[in-house]
Protein backbone atom coordinates (compact mmCIF):
# COMPACT_ATOMS: atom_id res chain seq x y z
CA UNK A 1 0.00 0.00 0.00
CA UNK A 2 1.43 3.24 -1.04
CA UNK A 3 0.67 6.81 -0.12
CA UNK A 4 -3.03 7.06 0.47
CA UNK A 5 -5.40 5.47 2.83
CA UNK A 6 -6.96 2.56 1.04
CA UNK A 7 -8.87 -0.39 2.33
CA UNK A 8 -7.91 -3.97 1.70
CA UNK A 9 -11.34 -5.44 0.98
CA UNK A 10 -10.07 -9.01 1.12
CA UNK A 11 -9.71 -8.64 4.89
CA UNK A 12 -13.14 -7.03 5.46
CA UNK A 13 -16.24 -9.17 5.76
CA UNK A 14 -19.31 -8.22 3.77
CA UNK A 15 -21.36 -7.55 6.94
CA UNK A 16 -20.99 -7.24 10.71
CA UNK A 17 -21.04 -10.69 12.23
CA UNK A 18 -21.05 -9.44 15.82
CA UNK A 19 -24.16 -7.24 15.47
CA UNK A 20 -27.04 -9.20 17.00
CA UNK A 21 -29.74 -6.74 15.90
CA UNK A 22 -28.66 -7.05 12.28
CA UNK A 23 -28.64 -10.82 12.55
CA UNK A 24 -32.05 -10.94 14.20
CA UNK A 25 -33.62 -8.55 11.68
CA UNK A 26 -32.15 -10.32 8.68
CA UNK A 27 -33.36 -13.68 10.04
CA UNK A 28 -36.83 -12.23 10.60
CA UNK A 29 -36.83 -10.78 7.09
CA UNK A 30 -35.86 -14.14 5.59
CA UNK A 31 -38.63 -15.92 7.52
CA UNK A 32 -41.20 -13.34 6.35
CA UNK A 33 -40.02 -13.66 2.77
CA UNK A 34 -40.34 -17.44 2.82
CA UNK A 35 -43.80 -17.25 4.40
CA UNK A 36 -44.98 -14.60 1.93
CA UNK A 37 -43.45 -16.33 -1.06
CA UNK A 38 -45.27 -19.49 -0.12
CA UNK A 39 -48.61 -17.71 0.29
CA UNK A 40 -48.72 -14.79 -2.17
CA UNK A 41 -45.37 -14.12 -3.72
CA UNK A 42 -44.96 -10.59 -2.25
CA UNK A 43 -42.38 -9.44 0.28
CA UNK A 44 -43.36 -7.54 3.42
CA UNK A 45 -42.06 -3.98 3.77
CA UNK A 46 -39.19 -3.60 6.22
CA UNK A 47 -39.95 -2.18 9.62
CA UNK A 48 -39.10 1.44 10.36
CA UNK A 49 -36.44 0.36 12.87
CA UNK A 50 -34.75 -1.89 10.34
CA UNK A 51 -34.92 0.82 7.70
CA UNK A 52 -33.28 3.32 10.06
CA UNK A 53 -30.62 0.79 11.00
CA UNK A 54 -29.73 0.16 7.35
CA UNK A 55 -29.56 3.91 6.64
CA UNK A 56 -27.17 4.33 9.57
CA UNK A 57 -25.01 1.47 8.29
CA UNK A 58 -24.86 3.00 4.84
CA UNK A 59 -24.02 6.43 6.25
CA UNK A 60 -27.20 8.04 5.03
CA UNK A 61 -28.78 10.70 7.19
CA UNK A 62 -32.49 11.39 7.08
CA UNK A 63 -34.88 9.86 4.64
CA UNK A 64 -35.67 11.68 1.44
CA UNK A 65 -39.12 13.12 0.80
CA UNK A 66 -39.82 10.33 -1.68
CA UNK A 67 -38.90 7.76 0.98
CA UNK A 68 -41.19 9.45 3.48
CA UNK A 69 -44.10 9.56 1.03
CA UNK A 70 -43.70 5.95 -0.05
CA UNK A 71 -43.21 4.64 3.48
CA UNK A 72 -45.74 1.83 4.11
CA UNK A 73 -45.66 2.60 7.86
CA UNK A 74 -46.80 6.20 7.32
CA UNK A 75 -49.92 7.41 9.12
CA UNK A 76 -53.08 7.95 7.16
CA UNK A 77 -54.82 11.32 7.38
CA UNK A 78 -57.74 9.81 9.30
CA UNK A 79 -55.46 8.21 11.88
CA UNK A 80 -53.46 11.46 12.20
CA UNK A 81 -56.69 13.40 12.79
CA UNK A 82 -57.72 11.01 15.57
CA UNK A 83 -54.36 11.32 17.31
CA UNK A 84 -54.13 15.10 17.00
CA UNK A 85 -57.81 16.03 17.28
CA UNK A 86 -57.21 18.49 20.13
CA UNK A 87 -54.37 20.29 18.36
CA UNK A 88 -56.17 20.46 15.02
CA UNK A 89 -59.62 21.34 16.40
CA UNK A 90 -61.11 20.90 12.92
CA UNK A 91 -64.75 20.74 13.91
CA UNK A 92 -64.87 22.66 17.17
CA UNK A 93 -63.71 19.66 19.16
CA UNK A 94 -63.54 21.52 22.46
CA UNK A 95 -67.07 22.83 22.05
CA UNK A 96 -68.37 19.35 21.30
CA UNK A 97 -66.56 17.94 24.31
CA UNK A 98 -67.91 20.68 26.55
CA UNK A 99 -71.48 20.09 25.35
CA UNK A 100 -71.09 16.35 25.87
CA UNK A 101 -69.66 16.95 29.36
CA UNK A 102 -72.62 19.18 30.27
CA UNK A 103 -75.06 16.55 29.01
CA UNK A 104 -73.30 13.96 31.15
CA UNK A 105 -73.54 16.23 34.20
CA UNK A 106 -77.27 16.76 33.53
CA UNK A 107 -77.81 13.01 33.28
CA UNK A 108 -75.93 12.40 36.53
CA UNK A 109 -77.90 15.12 38.32
CA UNK A 110 -81.21 13.69 37.08
CA UNK A 111 -80.19 10.23 38.28
CA UNK A 112 -79.29 11.58 41.71
CA UNK A 113 -82.58 13.48 41.94
CA UNK A 114 -84.56 10.40 40.95
CA UNK A 115 -82.74 8.36 43.58
CA UNK A 116 -83.30 10.95 46.30
CA UNK A 117 -86.98 11.30 45.38
CA UNK A 118 -87.49 7.56 45.45
CA UNK A 119 -85.79 7.39 48.87
CA UNK A 120 -88.02 10.23 50.12
CA UNK A 121 -91.13 8.42 48.88
CA UNK A 122 -90.03 5.23 50.63
CA UNK A 123 -89.51 7.14 53.88
CA UNK A 124 -92.87 8.89 53.54
CA UNK A 125 -94.77 5.71 52.83
CA UNK A 126 -93.13 3.91 55.74
CA UNK A 127 -93.60 6.76 58.26
CA UNK A 128 -97.21 7.47 57.31
CA UNK A 129 -96.59 11.13 56.46
CA UNK A 130 -98.88 13.14 54.14
CA UNK A 131 -99.32 12.16 50.53
CA UNK A 132 -97.69 13.82 47.52
CA UNK A 133 -100.56 16.26 46.97
CA UNK A 134 -100.51 17.37 50.62
CA UNK A 135 -96.74 17.94 50.47
CA UNK A 136 -97.02 20.09 47.35
CA UNK A 137 -99.39 22.44 49.20
CA UNK A 138 -96.81 22.99 51.91
CA UNK A 139 -96.32 21.45 55.31
CA UNK A 140 -99.48 20.55 57.10
CA UNK A 141 -99.92 22.78 60.15
CA UNK A 142 -102.46 22.70 62.90
CA UNK A 143 -104.97 25.53 63.18
CA UNK A 144 -103.18 26.98 66.21
CA UNK A 145 -99.86 27.16 64.34
CA UNK A 146 -101.53 28.83 61.36
CA UNK A 147 -103.13 31.42 63.60
CA UNK A 148 -99.81 32.16 65.31
CA UNK A 149 -98.10 32.68 61.96
CA UNK A 150 -100.89 34.97 60.80
CA UNK A 151 -100.55 37.12 63.93
CA UNK A 152 -96.76 37.36 63.46
CA UNK A 153 -97.20 38.49 59.86
CA UNK A 154 -99.74 41.11 60.91
CA UNK A 155 -97.42 42.44 63.65
CA UNK A 156 -94.58 42.73 61.14
CA UNK A 157 -96.79 44.60 58.67
CA UNK A 158 -98.04 46.95 61.40
CA UNK A 159 -94.50 47.73 62.59
CA UNK A 160 -93.40 48.39 59.03
CA UNK A 161 -96.31 50.75 58.42
CA UNK A 162 -95.62 52.54 61.73
CA UNK A 163 -92.00 53.11 60.74
CA UNK A 164 -93.14 54.56 57.42
CA UNK A 165 -95.58 56.89 59.18
CA UNK A 166 -92.93 58.09 61.64
CA UNK A 167 -90.46 58.65 58.84
CA UNK A 168 -92.97 60.55 56.74
CA UNK A 169 -94.17 62.67 59.68
CA UNK A 170 -90.58 63.60 60.59
CA UNK A 171 -89.92 64.59 57.00
CA UNK A 172 -93.14 66.64 56.88
CA UNK A 173 -92.33 68.47 60.14
CA UNK A 174 -88.86 69.20 58.85
CA UNK A 175 -90.32 70.72 55.72
CA UNK A 176 -92.75 72.84 57.71
CA UNK A 177 -89.97 74.18 59.92
CA UNK A 178 -87.79 75.05 56.92
CA UNK A 179 -90.73 76.82 55.29
CA UNK A 180 -91.26 78.86 58.51
CA UNK A 181 -87.56 79.79 58.57
CA UNK A 182 -87.69 80.87 54.95
CA UNK A 183 -90.79 83.05 55.57
CA UNK A 184 -89.07 84.75 58.57
CA UNK A 185 -86.01 85.60 56.48
CA UNK A 186 -88.15 87.53 54.00
Confidence of residue 101 (pLDDT cuts 50, 70, 90): very high
On whether the CB atoms of residues 140 and 134 are closer than 8 A, the answer is yes
pLDDT digits 0-9 by tens, 26-80 = 888 888 888 777 666 556 677 778 878 888 888 877 777 887 888 877 888 888 8
Give the contacts of 8 (CB within 8 A, at least 6 positions apart).
1
Most confident residue range from 5-19, 104-118, 140-154: 104-118
Q: What is the pLDDT of residues 115-130, one digit of tens each?
A: 888 777 777 776 655 5
**Is the overall model pTM greater than 0.75, yes or no?**
no
Nearest to 60 by CA among 69, 50, 52, 70: 52
Q: Report the C-alpha gap between 47 and 87 in whole angstroms.
A: 28
The pLDDT tens digits of the residues spanning 13-24 come to 666 556 677 778
Estimate the crossing angle of helix 20-39 against helix 48-58, to 10 degrees: 130
Burial 55-79 (b: 16+ CB within 10 A, else e): eeeeeeeeeeeeeeeeeeeeeeeee
* CA 127/CA 129 separation, integer angstroms: 6
Amino acid sequence: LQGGCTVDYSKVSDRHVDDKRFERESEHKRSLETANNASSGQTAPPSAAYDAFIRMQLGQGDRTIADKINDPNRLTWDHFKKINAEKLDLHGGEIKKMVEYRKQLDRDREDRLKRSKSKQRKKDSSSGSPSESERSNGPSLSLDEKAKRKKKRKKRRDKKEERKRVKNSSNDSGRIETEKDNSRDK
